[in-house]
């Protein structure tokens, strides 16, 4: 009896130098996996690219057969399946070159922030990386890039200097202020729906050391801490980045005894300055929260200041934070595992005249909840600004909500110019 027809019987990648995984073969299930458990992608084949030429071969094959095409580096930014298509993995393209004199890094499509941080640290430099060093540089940056140095230096997208991009027709171009400037504008916050970024060049910043870490308080301090926090941020200088987290700590041996298994208020801090200045700035919050259960803040290198992130099941952005929002979050913490309230602003709210389409820059605070709490979204909605942030947005149908109307209109024009037939259509794409 003959086997049923499958599209992978037709797709060939002549000249491809990397490994190709087909359904049912060893390595296929591991290679297709996303860090988002809701995405169960079943591509016709998975191509482990070793070079730009490999990506082009896979791209042109997908185009010739009319099947979906997607790129995945670490899997953090995978929000939609590439069922029946060609999935290219770029993890092997992880080169990192640092020019300490010019304070610039150039990275390949598969580079992770941990690799950039390690390469820049010997020179006292740091990138505008995010909370998790394991996140891929390219997807994070194309989506805007909110990092712990953002209040001081802006979004990661604001520091991009140039990008090498493989377009839907197979051309490999340089996007910069002087070459394909509209594409360059779109890539700095507009996501990856305009082409495959094969390398990025961006600024690094002198950060010899930081004062960073976590301070834990009893959950009973939640309401008064958040009440103090929503006004404390008014005078916080750009050098200090903070978040207040309402969290249920795991009950295991890796957690310090003082907070093991407890429900706590966790204050995250990263200050690009001295410990003395940081403690002075934080004093009003410490006074409101009361005696700490545990203080893990210290002076350290940026590379050692692992701040950690919060899984996102729900997010809202706020320009103002009234008491009603504070009350709703405290009540929701009785059901949620983690609620993170993070301060934005600073340099992120002051874009240069040539900045890309990272929008909702007036946002003062974001709220991320890792658990679906019935009724919370409806309770917060009247006070939120209605926007979202592409890096934190899991629903591709809401991509437009990450931008202002004017920016989204301009992004649509760039999409029509560089991908007129909508070849790049998996995940967050402009329509």
CB atoms within 10 A of CB 26: 7
Query: Does 280 reside within a domain?
Result: yes
* 242 shares a domain with 188: no
Contact 144, 156 (CB under 8 A): yes
Q: In the 8-state DSSP scheme, what is residue 176?
A: B
The lowest-confidence range among 66-80, 87-101, 145-159 is 66-80
pLDDT of residue 37: 67
Helix 222-232 to helix 275-289 angle (10° resolution) is: 130
Contact 216, 153 (CB under 8 A): no
pLDDT of residue 5: 36
Note the pLDDT tens digit of each residue in 300-314: 999 999 787 777 778
Report the length, in residues, of the chain: 431
Integer angstrom CA distances of residue 394 from 314, 345, 362, 428: 9, 23, 22, 9
E strand or H helix at 199: strand 196-203
Report the CATH number that the domain containing residue 357 is assigned in CATH: 3.40.462.20
Q: Could you give the 3-state DSSP secondary structure of residue 91?
A: coil
Exposed e or buried b per residue across 240-251, where buried means at least 16 C-beta atoms within 10 angstroms of its C-beta:
bbbbbbbbbbee
Sign, CA torsion 29/35/40/44: negative
* 251 shares a domain with 118: no
- Domain end point (choices 139, 172, 206): 206
In angstroms, how far apart are the furthest CA atoms of the chain? 78
CB atoms within 10 A of CB 230: 21
Q: How far apart are CA 88 and CA 219, in angstroms?
A: 45
Query: Does 123 reside within a domain?
Result: yes
Residues 6+ apart with CB under 8 A from 391: 77, 130, 140, 143, 144, 145, 146
Query: Does 422 reside within a domain?
Result: no
Exposed e or buried b per residue across 288-326, where buried means at least 16 C-beta atoms within 10 angstroms of its C-beta:
bbeebbeeebebeebbebebebbebebbbbbeebeeebb
Query: Does 82 reside within a domain?
Result: yes
Contact 248, 222 (CB under 8 A): no
* 105 shares a domain with 68: no
* 171 shares a domain with 232: no
* 244 shares a domain with 318: yes
Q: How far apart are CA 120 and CA 113, in angstroms?
A: 10
* 380 shares a domain with 357: yes
Q: How far apart are CA 273 and CA 208, in angstroms?
A: 9
Only one residue has tokens 């909110």, namely 146
- Domain end point (choices 153, 184, 206): 206
Note the pLDDT tens digit of each residue in 180-208: 999 999 999 999 999 999 999 999 999 98
Q: How far apart are CA 430 and CA 419, in angstroms?
A: 10
Number of domains in the chain: 3
Query: Does 323 reside within a domain?
Result: yes
* The two three-digit tokens of residue 340, written as one number: 């993170």
pLDDT of residue 3: 41
* 238 shares a domain with 158: no
* 318 shares a domain with 242: yes
**Mean pLDDT for the stretch of residues 142-167:** 97
What percent of the chain has a predicted confidence (pLDDT) above 70?
96
pLDDT of residue 59: 96
Q: Could you give the 3-state DSSP secondary structure of residue 294?
A: strand
| Domain encompassing residue 14 | 10-89
* 365 shares a domain with 273: yes
| pLDDT exceeds cutoff 70 at 2 | no
Only one residue has tokens 């979906």, namely 68
Q: Tell me the pLDDT of the chain averaged across its residues.
A: 92
* 71 shares a domain with 35: yes
* 354 shares a domain with 375: yes
pLDDT of residue 108: 97
pLDDT of residue 98: 98
- Burial (CB < 10 A; 0-12, 13-18, 19+), residue 103, is middle
Query: Does 408 reside within a domain?
Result: no
* 327 shares a domain with 229: yes
Report the CATH number that the domain containing residue 53 is assigned in CATH: 3.30.43.10
Query: Does 429 reside within a domain?
Result: no
* The two three-digit tokens of residue 364, written as one number: 């003062």
- Burial (CB < 10 A; 0-12, 13-18, 19+), residue 261, is exposed
Report the CATH number that the domain containing residue 160 is assigned in CATH: 3.30.465.10
pLDDT of residue 76: 54
Integer angstrom CA distances of residue 331 from 38, 245, 248, 250, 267: 27, 14, 14, 20, 18
Query: Does 221 reside within a domain?
Result: yes
- Domain end point (choices 26, 60, 89): 89
Q: How far apart are CA 117 and CA 80, in angstroms?
A: 29
């Amino acid at each position: 009896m003959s086997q049923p027809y499958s599209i992978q019987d037709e797709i060939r990648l002549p000249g491809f130098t990397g490994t190709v995984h087909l359904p049912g073969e060893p390595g296929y299930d591991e290679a297709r996996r996303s860090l988002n458990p809701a995405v169960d992608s079943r591509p016709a084949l998975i191509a482990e690219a070793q070079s730009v030429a490999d990506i082009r071969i896979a791209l042109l094959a997908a185009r010739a057969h009319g099947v979906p095409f997607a790129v995945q580096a670490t899997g953090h930014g995978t929000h939609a399946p590439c069922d029946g298509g060609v999935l290219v993995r770029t993890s092997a393209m992880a080169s990192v070159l640092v020019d300490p004199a010019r304070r610039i890094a150039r990275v390949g499509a598969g580079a992770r922030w941990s690799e950039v941080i390690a390469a820049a640290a010997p020179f006292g430099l740091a990138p505008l990386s995010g909370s998790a060093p394991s996140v891929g540089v390219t997807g994070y940056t194309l989506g805007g890039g909110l990092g712990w140095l953002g209040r001081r230096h802006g979004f990661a997208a604001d520091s991009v200097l140039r990008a090498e991009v493989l377009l839907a027709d197979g051309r490999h171009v340089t996007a910069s202020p002087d070459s394909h400037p509209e594409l360059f504008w779109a890539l700095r916050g507009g996501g990856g729906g305009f082409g495959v970024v094969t390398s990025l060049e961006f600024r690094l910043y002198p950060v010899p050391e930081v004062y960073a870490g976590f301070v834990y308080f009893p959950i009973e301090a939640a309401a008064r801490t958040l009440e103090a926090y929503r006004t404390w941020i008014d005078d916080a200088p750009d050098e200090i980045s903070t978040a207040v987290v309402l969290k249920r700590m795991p009950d295991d041996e890796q957690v310090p005894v003082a907070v093991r298994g407890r429900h706590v208020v966790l204050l995250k801090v990263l200050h690009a300055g001295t410990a003395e200045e940081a403690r002075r700035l934080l004093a009003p919050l410490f006074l409101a929260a009361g005696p700490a259960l545990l203080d893990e803040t210290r002076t350290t290198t940026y590379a050692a200041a692992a701040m950690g992130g919060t899984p996102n099941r729900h997010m809202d952005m706020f320009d103002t934070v009234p008491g009603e929002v504070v009350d709703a979050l405290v009540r929701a913490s009785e059901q949620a595992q983690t609620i993170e309230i993070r301060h934005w602003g600073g340099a992120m709210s002051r874009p240069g005249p040539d900045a890309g389409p990272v929008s909702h820059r007036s946002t003062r605070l974001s709220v991320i909840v890792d658990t679906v709490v019935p009724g919370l979204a409806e309770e917060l909605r009247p006070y939120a600004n209605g926007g979202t942030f592409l890096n934190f947005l899991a629903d591709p149908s809401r991509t437009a909500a990450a931008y202002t109307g004017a920016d989204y209109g301009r992004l649509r024009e760039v999409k029509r110019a560089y991908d007129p037939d909508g070849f790049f259509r998996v995940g967050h794409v402009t329509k």
